[in-house]
Chains A and B, each alone.
Chain A
Amino acid sequence: MKKILFLLSIVCLLLTLLPSFMVYAGLISLQLNKTLMLVGTMGWFLLAALKMNAAQHQPS
């Protein structure tokens, strides 16, 4: 579970960064880039909250 959350959060981080290179390469519009960045942002913080929650509930 922990590994899946980690991988998903990396995907979200990349979703924040990589589309901008596609704008630079002329593959997507700046508007689409902004939308993808927002999706990546929401995913990153949602997964971070889940990870923090999971860490808090782990038996010490």
Chain B
Amino acid sequence: MFSKKNFFKKLDSVNEYERQPIPGNKLKGWKSFVGMYAGEHTAGTEFVIGPLFVAHGASAPDLIFGLLLGNILAVLSWAFFTARVSVKTRITLYYQLEKIAGKRFSLLYNLINALMFCFLAGSMIAVSATAIGIPFDLAMPSLHDVLPSSIGWVVTVLIVGIVTTVVAMFGFEQVSRFANVAAPWMIMVFIAAAIGVLPQLGINSLADFWPVAETKIWNGVPLEGQSKFTFWHIMFFAWFCNMAMHIGMADMSILRYAKKWQYGFSSATGVFLGHYIAWIASGILYSLFLIESNNSTEFAPGPIAYRAAGIAGALCVVIAGWTTANPTLYRAGLAIQSINPKWKTWKVTLFVGGLTTLAACFPALVMQLLEFVALYGLILMPLGAIIYMDVMVFPKIGLQDNYAMRTNSSFNWSVALTWGLTLGLCLILNLMFNIDIFFLGLPGWFAAVFIYIVASKLFQKHTHLQNELKSNQSDKPETLLVS
């Protein structure tokens, strides 16, 4: 029987250790991370990214080896950056940032993060809509579309957006469980859909694969109006597409549960299933569509998957898009709610869902997904660099870590300056030197590190550490817990 008292007791007992280090008895083994990463990185975005590489004229060797190297670098970033910091601090990115940068700065970060989440969820709603529209013979958007292409498109997106928002308003626990169930099946559909169409591309034996891959699938010729992608574009994209998670430290929330920092290598399951096999598979499907449609500029993952794998393929697009959009929307709601925790979660989620659905009506969100993902990582990267330096390097070079907490400040100007100047420098490199957004993360990281050290030296020199003694005392139990 349902007992209200037990229900709330159960809710109260849920402890995610949001403002305290994970205790030793709550740490998890490597199997948890292998499964979690494998599920997390096979998502709706994979149906868009693989085809966009084809549209941007990636050649077969550039794609295969660029993805390989980029994914290896991503795994190394997860292990050597995120996991090492996570295991040392055992707290979330949000709390760590609050300790370093102050509450007011964290609020700003949360707002920007929420906006990014909205756009990401919006693109996934649009991806799902391409599959929902199949039975209604919906006119699909094309690669060059920026504005909504038809009334039918807007209505379909609105319906998908409303359903996604309503589900997100009830929390994302069930959706998260459903996503875990769907993950292995989605990988199977990706692989099966691509294998099934190989004979139509003229691949009837293993020996046929490479010549066909070079001439028909990734032939190195960009579609009209698309820029040309080289090995370096692909490598850097594969490395930095999850920059917010690894170098940007968002995955501290997950890896703080790891017994050892080496568990960061378990991210390999996610990137090599989702960002290698799934991207290659979706690229194969799109190239067949291009051949059959005589290089049509229509870009709709739903019909492409339906063409290759039937109803299972279309369902995969809907589920992949929905299971990505839903938790993303919920997280965006939580981030907005941090402005005023008294706001009702469902009202905030409703507002965020409305904004996201509106954004989803614009096909540009899907067509420019590569650039958006790169921008998302780039914007959050300087804060990851700041956290890494603060946790791993500052104590060794005589600078004060967790400065906002120690000085009881709500806004650390060193952090704000580092963020602003780094992004400003990246903008200059992009606009004045024509350096593509995909390449800006690397120089940006070094710039952030340099600016943060200089700014901290200047600001810390002139500020009296009022609460140092008090903070040191309050730190002691935490240190004991994480050792």
A residues near B, CB below 8 A?
13, 16-17, 19-21, 23-24, 26, 30-31, 33-35, 37-38, 40-41, 44-45, 48, 52
Contacts and interface: CB of A to CB of B under 8 A. Distances in A.
B473 to A, nearest CB: 40
B418 to A, nearest CB: 46
B199 A17 contact: no
24 contacts: A13-B184, A13-B188, A16-B192, A17-B188, A17-B192, A20-B191, A20-B195, A23-B196, A24-B195, A24-B203, A24-B204, A26-B199, A30-B200, A33-B192, A33-B310, A34-B313, A37-B309, A37-B310, A37-B313, A38-B312, A40-B188, A41-B311, A45-B181, A48-B181
Q: Is the interface of B mostly helix, strand, loop or mixed?
A: helix
B195 A34 contact: no
A17 B195 CA distance: 9
B6 to A, nearest CB: 11
Q: Is the interface of A mostly helix, strand, loop or mixed?
A: helix
B315 interface: yes
A39 to B, nearest CB: 9
Interface of B: 177, 181-182, 184-185, 188-189, 191-200, 203-204, 309-313, 315
A31 B197 CA distance: 11
Question: Which 3 pairs from chain A and chain B are nearest by CB?
Answer: A34-B310, A20-B192, A37-B312
Contact of B192 (A19, A45, A48, A52): A19
A30 B196 contact: yes
A16 B203 CA distance: 21
A40 to B, nearest CB: 7
B198 A24 contact: yes
A38 B181 CA distance: 16
